[in-house]
Structure 1
Amino acid sequence: MSCKRVFLVGFMCSGKSTVGRLLADMLGWQFVDIDKEVERIEKMSIPEIFKIKGEDYFRKRELEVLTELVKGEGLVISTGGGLGSNPQAMKLMKSSGFVVWLRVDFGTFLERCGKDPSRPLLRKSKEELLKLFESRSKIYSKAHLELDGTIDPSLLAKNIIHACRNYTFTL
């Protein structure tokens, strides 16, 4: 396979972790969830990081973790919704591997996420969330591949493998 790492981007609850684990298993690669890595390094949950150190600190840490991960190979990397919408991170991912946007509509996001207390951004109003959803989608759309995040996760993983095998990387 020509790609050495796959990055999954998309809004909260788009299926990045679910699809990422399946994809890594199918490829025999390691799965890394950047949010979980930041929590492990910081020894606290994301809500705690937001509360104690702030969102800006969290965003800086997730970008640092990504910068380290692009040095590895045989990785499926699930990015947090904010990291995937960071133009600097998107540029780094696209130059380091195959980037896949798992796209869901706003209604599906609301249905899947509900009022998950582990997601600090869900404290925003529905209108604020929609605005965030739309602005992040503009960056996600720069991914190499866009897939419908509502279809079966196993099928999504197979589609990603097929696309990655057939993608010609140019620098």
Structure 2
Amino acid sequence: MKIILIGYMGSGKTTIGKALSKQLNVKFLDLDDYIEAAEKSSINEIFKDKGEVYFRKKETEYLKEVLNRKENVVLSVGGGTPCFGDNIRFINEATPNSIYIKTDLNVLCDRLMKERDERPLIADIAPEEFQEFIAKHLFERSFFYNQAHHKIGNQYKSVEDVVLQIRKLLV
């Protein structure tokens, strides 16, 4: 069984994924961590040194690699992963358990403002333009996110509540 968590950066995919994998006693994998290990470079360095186009090509390559494995896994993908190439199709064909972790704009902005330096796509966004940028970006990506088999809102819910909701959805 593969469970794939998608959603905007800061939506809690990694936190939820780790808790879910622990409950199900299956491996947790964060695609960004997998890419960093394979490339022997951080996501920030890849973006800086080789650019977003290179990163997105490698991201698709590594996504396919993980999806083709014959192991049970909870996989958290980067916020942009489903939005490039045919990645959302690859995800949905690999499992009936693709789940969009949907998070309120204000919650995302609060979380991401604290993590700006660690996230190359938002590191240089001015504070006064931050919420508008996130809102626009989220709107553009929501077309892809909404293609997930399941959608779960996580605002005002504990990690445990979201994990329980996911467990009830699993095919």
TM-score normalised by structure 2 residue count = 0.89
Task: Determine what percentage of the aligned residue pairs are the same residue.
Answer: 33
Q: CA deviation at 1:10?
A: 0.3
Task: Report Cα offsets for 1:42-86 as digits up to 9, x if no partner.
Answer: 111111111000011111111111101112221100000000223
Moved >3 Å (runs of 4+): none
Match of 2:74 in 1: 76
Larger RCO: Structure 1 or Structure 2 (Cα < 8 Å, ≥ 6 residues apart)? 1
User: Which residue of 94, 97, 101 maps to 1:96?
Assistant: 94
Local SS of the residue matching 2:108: helix
Whole-Å Cα distance in 2 between the matches of residues 29 and 110 of structure 1? 31
Range with bigger deviation, 48-57 or 153-162: 153-162
SS at match of 2:75: strand
**Partner in structure 2 of residue 144 of structure 1:** 149
Q: Which residue identity is paired with 1:132? A: H
**Aligned ranges 1:62-73 → 2 under 5 Å:** 62-72=59-69, 73=71
Show CA shifts across 1:73-100 (max 9, x none): 2110000000022361111111111100
Q: Distance in 1 between matches of 2:27 and 2:41?
A: 23
TM-score normalized with structure 1 length? 0.89
Out of 38, 60, 74, the position equivalent to 2:57 is 60
- Are the structure 2 counterparts of residues 28 and 80 from structure 1 closer, same or farther at C-alpha, using a change threshold of 3 Å? same
Q: CA RMSD in A?
A: 1.3
